Amino acid sequence: MTSKSPNSSLCLLFTSLLICVLSAPILFAQNPVANYDEKAVPAFQLPDPLILGSGDAVLDTATWWSLRRPEIMEMFENEMFGKTPDMKLPVSFELTSLDKNALGGIATRKEITVYFTADKSGPSMVILLYLPNHVESKVPVFLAMNFNGNHTIHPDSGVSITRSWLEVNRESLSNGSKTVADSRGSASRRWPVEMILQRGYGLATIYYEDIDPDFDDGFQNGIHPLFYKSGQTSPNSNEWGSIGAWAWGYSRAMDYLETDGDIDSRRVILMGHSRLGKAALWAGAQDQRFSVVISNNSGCGGAALSKRAYGETIGRINRVFPHWFCDNFLKYGENEGSLTFDQHMLLSLIAPRPLYVASAEEDLWADPQGEFLSALHASPVYKLLGTDGLQAEARPLPGLPVMSTIGYHIRKGKHDVTDFDWECYLNFADMHFGK
Ligand code: GTR
């Protein structure tokens, strides 16, 4: 065995130091430090949702619907979320469980399996639905996907354990649960089911990875392969990523809700938290059957303006979650200035339907100010379409929601979904449904 001479050790140390010093700028360029300083937000000009690509102003609703809205939709399809295929799958629904006396008798619980292939062998999703028994008429429903399985949203032992993808996603099981079954009810803090029912609303939820697993699998699992053209093995650079797939799942859930005689499908409120908030906004933009859309702390790629580059940025989100957006979105990393659209325009695609954007004071990663400004700058489109938009010029104080056709609040605390958030959403829905 030979030992190193002191000289060779010194030489090794020197070389390592040199490599560190030389590679620092490269590493920094790959992983720039997140900016949390309002003064360091770059100067930018937001594209005007009411100016056509040709430079002409949109002065009437007909021009909005026939020209400008399709233009904006195309930008988000081609450059950000990727296009959702037009092809229709042979989707079918099966009521796989029913309990008219759930949660001590206050609710009817249904589980509906939605099959995406005719022979039912491919991917499928399970909708867990709670309906309030004290309401005689058809009920409005909140539709919101969950992160860890339908069985985590409530300790209710009648809910089937979610099967898809939880094994690979085991580390995301909350409360340190050892097995999937142990995680029953572990996310219930975020899901005040009884409160929602008591206010006369139903709740429909789906485990999001039923539709597409949330890791970079080259789009070999989930629903993407069902849409590949002959010889295709992954989406093209302007075709959908995982957020597009989850948004598609929200629309397939809507297809089912339209068939359920217990539900008022003209009053389906789409709600999503964080990455599922991004998906909810994209689903609400593409599918006008959703009558109200709620973004809870959706941040970068959701409600927050990208051009502010505050907190999470396009570069960082694409590096960490390369499967969320289409490949064309990569070119905007550390290059937000070149965007010809921004997230206020995504919000404007929901107009004139009621839209709620919610932030949390400590959730700087999601850029609360950028989320507020986005709602504010979507307002001109809401106004053109005959509504009042957002009734605030400056961000309201924490805990004080502003509610008109656009609602906004920032609450104290972290990135999360709290009872306060839900109370605001229920109040917002009541206001718009004249309850
Ligand atoms: C973070 C991601 C955010 C947000 C969040 C979540 O890691 O950076 O964009 O989507 O995850 O979904 O919880």
Q: Which residues contact 277 (CB under 8 A, 6 or more apart)?
A: 271, 294, 295, 296, 297, 298, 299, 302, 303
Q: Scan for tokens 């004071």, then name that residue.
A: 361
Q: How confident is the model at residue 82, as a pLDDT? A: 98
The residue-averaged pLDDT of 301-322 equals 98
324-340 tens-digit pLDDT: 999 999 999 999 999 99
The counts of H helices and E strands in the chain are 10, 10
Lookup: tokens for 308: 């502010």
Query: Ligand 1: does its nearest atom lie under 6 Å from the Cβ of 267?
Result: no
* Cβ of 295 less than 6 Å from ligand 1: no
Structure tokens given for 149:
């399985």
Rounded (10°) angle between helices 275-286 and 69-79 = 140
Percent of the chain clearing pLDDT 70 (strictly above): 90
Q: How many CA within 13 A on the CB side of residue 347?
A: 38
- SS3 assignment, position 153: coil
pLDDT tier at 173, thresholds 50, 70, 90: low
- Ligand 1 mean position, distance from CA 361 (Å): 16
Average pLDDT of the segment spanning 44-48: 98
Residue 181: predicted pLDDT: 76
Please name which of 366, 259, 253 lies closest in space to residue 269, comparing C-alpha atoms. Answer: 253
In tens, the pLDDT along 122-141 reads: 899 999 999 999 999 999 99
Atom of ligand 1 nearest to the CA of 300: 9
The pLDDT of 90-102, averaged and rounded, is: 98
User: How much distance in Å is there from the Cα of 80 to the middle of ligand 1?
Assistant: 17
Q: How far is CA 224 from the centre of its chain?
A: 18
Choose, from 164, 183, 274, 295, the residue flagged as catalytic.
Answer: 274
CB distance 299 to ligand 1 below 6 Å:
yes
Residue nearest to atom 10 of ligand 1 (CA): 275
Query: What is the helix, strand, coil percentage profile of the chain, to 5?
Result: 40, 20, 45
312 lines ligand 1 (CB under 6 A): yes
- β-bridge mates for residue 406, sequence order: 355
Stretch 62-73: mean pLDDT: 98
DSSP character string of 224-266: GGGGPPTT--S--TTB--HHHHHHHHHHHHHHHHTT-TTEEEE
Q: Does the active-site annotation cover 274?
A: yes
Residue pair 173/180 in contact (Cβ under 8 Å)? The answer is yes
> Residues near 257 by Cβ (< 8 Å), separated by ≥ 6?
141, 143, 204, 263, 265, 268
Residue owning tokens 């972290």: 414
Alpha helix segments (H runs only) across 321-364: 343-348
Measured between alpha carbons, how far is residue 400 from residues 194, 395, 420 in Å? Answer: 24, 10, 11
Structural domains for the chain: 38-67+291-435 (3.40.50.1820), 80-265 (no CATH)
Judge whether 69 and 352 are in contact, CB under 8 Å: no
Is 338 an active-site residue? no
